[in-house]
Amino acid sequence: MITFEVKPDNGTAYEVTATPRDVLLWERQVRNAKFSNFASPSYEDIYGLAFFASKRQRQFDGNRALFEETCEVQPIEDADEYEPESDGEPGPTSEDR
């Protein structure tokens, strides 16, 4: 679903992917949390979902406050979903190469 890069202050960076189970836990335990928030997520949403995914996958053992204080989190774009914007000009053809 959504993959995050997590960089703990005193540890090795890792990637964690939030699954529907993580989203369900996040929505149940965080007031007003909805997966639809990820159309335009806040950092609170990003850190919250990354925390639940990290806990479930045993990458992090502390509480959410400690996670937020000691980890840098960035979402990683899925290469399969990424489509670069077109400038309106056709790309080179095999004859142009």
The angle subtended at Cα 29 by Cα 24 and Cα 35, nearest 5°, is 40
Whether the model clears a pTM of 0.75, i.e. scores above it, the answer is no
Q: Is the pLDDT of residue 30 over 70?
A: yes
More confidently predicted of 80 and 61: 61
Q: Tens of pLDDT along 68-91?
A: 999 999 999 753 443 444 455 555
Reading the block at residue 31, the tokens are: 């007031």
CA dihedral 21, 36, 78, 2 (to 10 degrees): -30
Measured CA to CA, the distance from residue 56 to residue 82 in angstroms comes to 27
Measured CA to CA, the distance from residue 58 to residue 25 in angstroms comes to 15
